[in-house]
A and B are shown apart, each in its own frame.
Chain A
Amino acid sequence: MTAFFQNLGMSYEWAWAIATICGILLIALPLMLGVAMIIYADRKIWAAMALRRGPNVVGPFGLLQSFADGLKVFLQETIVPSAANKGIFLIAPIVTFTVALLAWAVIPFNSGAVLADINVGLLYVLAISSLGVYGTVMAGWASNSKYPFFSAMRASAQMISYEVSIGFILICVVLWANSFNLNEIVLAQKGAGLGFVNGFWFNILLFPMWVMFLISGMAETGRAPFDLTEAESELVAGFQTEYSSMSFALYWLGEYANVLLMCALNATLFFGGWLPPFEIPFLYWVPGFVWLLLKILFFFFIFSWVKATVPRYRYDQLMRLGWKVFLPVSLGFVVLVSGWLMFTRYGA
């Protein structure tokens, strides 16, 4: 895109700046629309599993429900509790929302169609996802209220626990793909399964890693069954208890943008990203971003399915799963994967 703006007679720097801003808008605006639709999809799937109808009043099939909800919260009054720490209270939802959008910069939507093609792409994702906890912790502290504070403490321990195992899982993928760049990781999956299946999931050493990544992703985004940060049966609404109006909506949007990001990462790291699922020439006629979108929707269905069917974990069970199960297993797999690659790929 930079070249296009340069042809219009701009200097390289201005062309780069404008191309980047266009790229950001090209990602962020469809993402916002996608988040609105995915909230609708989530509610519909959840309703279907509970034998209910779900939203079906606003617009055809209730399709406009999310927009109606958005308009509703937009028109509400923003209430800041008088005991709250005002600055941090107002910054916290902005942090959550911004961080949820930031990581999309390195997700490749097609061959070369990526906003920031940096060679530490996966580390960038890890860095940004580790920032996500601040929105929650700041909200919990600044609200100056008991339930949000409990939620903040839970969130900070939970996110750190699962980031460790996510780090080890990503190391396995990086070792196999031999790159941190997400586009190269996608290309490394071309024909990875018997020369026919595109994706690392068709690999006896990486398939368990994918299962653990999916579960850790749910814990990292605070989705059910790991939604202890907003466990409504114990903590009212967790860190969002004191929030209203747009500041509440920003949490809502940020949460779903994070879930979509986790789905996109599952697709990109283990299911071939924008590559078609199988190595058949005519499948390449379908544009890459369509395949990525289909895979994201598939993973989102799994997320919704789990939310609708699995009961919430107790906090000690959550910690046990993170530290006593995922951490040793993923660490073992790092040794296993590097040993296997040493003998087969780099051996003698």
Chain B
Amino acid sequence: MIHVFAFYLFAVLTIASGAVTILARNPVHSVLWLILAFFNAAGLMVLVGAEFIAMLLVIVYVGAVAVLFLFVVMMLDIDFAELRAGFVKNFPLGMLIAVVLLAEIVLGVGAYKAGAMHLGTPDGTAITAPGASNIAAIGQLMYGRYLFLFEASGLVLLVAMIGAIVLTHRQRSDSRGQNVAKQNARRPDEATINMKPEVGKGMTL
């Protein structure tokens, strides 16, 4: 009874907060509702026994991605009238993306039900190695069967990261950084000098 209640609670909250995400007028509110949606999706993952995925969802999406989202959106100076003006212009594009996403979900679920991929069983139990915990089962697949795909995706991310750094990095000549090693190596006798300037003459260092 409790898990049925929990399922409907999480499911309703996921869909509701997802809907409010796109309906909310203030973008910061949208991000916060999106975080609530992530969180309830993680709850649903726990209910189907995929606790590792649930924790990763919270750590990666809520803990890192959404914080950066919020960081950027908080600093935006948003003109609400201008935002709404683009609605009609972008409507066809939005519908196109929605149709593509829907088709992908239908295809994915269809392929899964047909058993074309040997990822799990269609009745919802996703255990690949009986008796093994979530982490062990995923580890065996990721570092065994899908090792090269896993490493390739790692390389793609590395390239993306380096690309982002190269695109945004600019050498600034006027900024003064702190050289900690140099500071630590400084000793009092080389940092201070005792001068005896003549009265009224002044001195240069």
Residues of A within 8 A of B (CB): 13, 16-17, 85, 88, 118-120, 123-124, 126-128, 130-131, 133-134, 137-138, 141, 149, 152-153, 156-157, 159-160, 163, 180, 316-317, 320
Contact = CB atoms under 8 A, between A and B. Distances in A.
Contact of B64 (A128, A130, A149): A130
Nearest to A17: B2
Given A141-B28, A149-B74, A163-B64, 8 more contacts: A85-B28, A88-B28, A119-B134, A120-B52, A127-B55, A137-B67, A141-B74, A157-B71
B37 interface: no
Contacts of A13: 1-2
A160 B51 contact: no
B55 to A, nearest CB: 4
Given A119-B133, A120-B51, A134 B71 contact: no
Nearest to A128: B58
Contacts of B64: 130, 160, 163
Interface string B43-77: 00000000110011011001110011011001100
By secondary structure, the B interface counts as helix
A120 B134 contact: yes
Interface residues of B, number: 28
Contacts of B134: 119-120
Interface string B102-140: 000000000000000000000000000000011100000
B59 A137 contact: no
Nearest to A167: B59
B2 A123 contact: no
Given A124-B55, A127-B55, A137-B74, A160 B135 contact: no
Contacts of A163: 63-64
Main secondary structure of the interface of A (DSSP, over half): helix
Nearest to A133: B67
B180 interface: yes
Nearest to B26: A85
B32 A16 contact: no
A130 B62 CA distance: 8
A120 B134 CA distance: 9
Contacts of B68: 156, 160
Contacts of A317: 178
Given A130-B62, A156-B70, A180 B135 contact: yes
A123 B67 contact: no
A88 B32 contact: yes
Contacts of B2: 13, 16-17
B35 interface: yes
A138 B70 CA distance: 9
Nearest to A20: B2
A169 to B, nearest CB: 15
A219 to B, nearest CB: 15
The 10 closest A-B pairs by CB, nearest first: A130-B63, A127-B58, A123-B55, A127-B59, A156-B71, A120-B51, A141-B74, A120-B55, A127-B55, A156-B67
A13 B1 CA distance: 8
Contacts of B135: 119-120, 180
A130 B55 CA distance: 11
11 contacts: A17-B2, A88-B29, A119-B51, A119-B134, A120-B51, A126-B63, A130-B64, A137-B67, A138-B32, A141-B70, A156-B71
Contact of B52 (A123, A160, A316): A123
B56 A123 contact: yes
